[in-house]
Amino acid sequence: MKKICVEEHWGSPDMEEIRTQWRARTGFPVSMDPKALPLIPPRLRDFEQTRLPLMDESGITMQVLSTSSPGVQGLADAAGAIAVARKINDDQAGIIRKYPGRFAGLAAMPTQDPKAAADELERAVTQLGFKGAMILGHTNGEYLDHEKFWIIWERAEALGVPIYLHPAEPLVDQIKIYDGRPEFMGPAWSWGVETGTHALRIIGAGVFDAFPKTTLILGHMGEMLPYMTVRIDEGYEMTFHKKKLNKLPSDYIRENIMITTSGKYSAGALLCALRELGANHILFAGDYPWVTPKEAVELIERVPMSETEKEMIYHGNAERLFKL
């Protein structure tokens, strides 16, 4: 069965410099122990020695590539972000051309300048053949619900491509709750809370009322949202509203959001997502190189589902969404 992975990272040399600058500027603590992840840096950069053989071993037809954290969002100034995003996208396009049929791409976005980000998205889609964009969290503390960013949603809808919202570190002034418990910073908890909340902000601002054909992708089995739909709706009805939506939050989660299986998750979590969202809103992903293709496939194979559902998750939904 054809298999298309949609959250698979590569190590642009520019990312190392961005990460260094971001840590120096923000003073944010390191949330992952490098000693626990010795294979990650070389696998991010390599394609021929490890990535492609592992893909072939597990029957992965294609990976949809994107850069790693903190992404272009880690830069402070707009001019630098615009130049670096363009370079990263051109480099990624070169990788895709070098290995025909094995890779597609999501664009890096210089969200420090929303108009420039929208223009770069259009260039990446129309000239480089990319299938959408990946944005790695907030930009200098600003989230994508702000109306200054709506030009990005407008352009994505016009181009018919999705925006993938990837986890990022919260703002430094929001990490007090993790004092003394650094093990829950990063992948264990804070990334999911940060990204799920970011998605709720986008819903609450009315982005999907304004741009109803827009698709937001959330990785890591939906960043907790599929398992909280009833509580989110119940609480939304009880509280004050800055902007009254046309629908309940869960309606947008089911209609405008697609989730991916990226990461190491239980069969029970995927079963819950299948029942809450349906197979037509779930995309196959591994989160390479943090998760190997073999581990990503094993998750799907552990879950009881029909062959039709499996076809949709493994490749059908990606082909439809990304026009592959």
Provide the pLDDT confidence category of residue 274 given band limits of 50, 70 and 90.
very high
**Token code pair at residue 178:** 């993790």
Which DSSP category does 247 fall into?
A: S
Closest CA to 69 of 174, 170, 196, 217: 170
pLDDT at 1: 94
- Asked whether 246 and 209 are in contact (CB, 8 A), the reply is yes
| Alpha helices (H) in the chain, listed in sequence order | 13-26, 40-45, 51-57, 78-98, 114-126, 150-159, 190-204, 207-210, 229-238, 249-255, 267-277, 293-302, 307-311, 317-322
pLDDT at 231: 96
- Produce one character per residue of 90-114: b if its CB has 16 or more CB atoms within 10 Å, e if not: eebbeebeeeeebbbbbbbbbbbbb
Report the distance separating Cα 216 and Cα 246, nearest Å. Answer: 18
Rounded to 5, what percent of the chain is helix, strand, coil?
55, 10, 35
Report the distance separating Cα 291 and Cα 299, nearest Å. Answer: 11
Provide the pLDDT confidence category of residue 91 given band limits of 50, 70 and 90.
very high
pLDDT at 257: 98
Report the distance separating Cα 83 and Cα 86, nearest Å. Answer: 5
Cα 261 to chain centroid, rounded: 11
Q: Which sign does the torsion angle of CA 186, 187, 189, 193 carry? A: positive
pLDDT (mean) for 54-66: 98
pLDDT, one tens digit per residue, over 143-158 is 999 999 999 999 999 9
pLDDT, one tens digit per residue, over 297-319 is 999 999 999 999 999 999 999 99
Provide the pLDDT confidence category of residue 28 given band limits of 50, 70 and 90.
confident
pLDDT at 21: 84
Among 13-17, 88-92, 251-255, the range scoring the smallest mean pLDDT is 13-17
Statement: residue 33 has pLDDT above 80: no
Does 251 participate in catalysis according to the annotation? no
Selected catalytic residue, list 14, 113, 145, 287: 287
| Domains, in order of start, for the chain | 4-322 (3.20.20.140)
pLDDT (mean) for 180-197: 94
pLDDT (mean) for 69-87: 94
Average pLDDT, whole number, for the chain? Answer: 94
Statement: residue 23 has pLDDT above 90: no
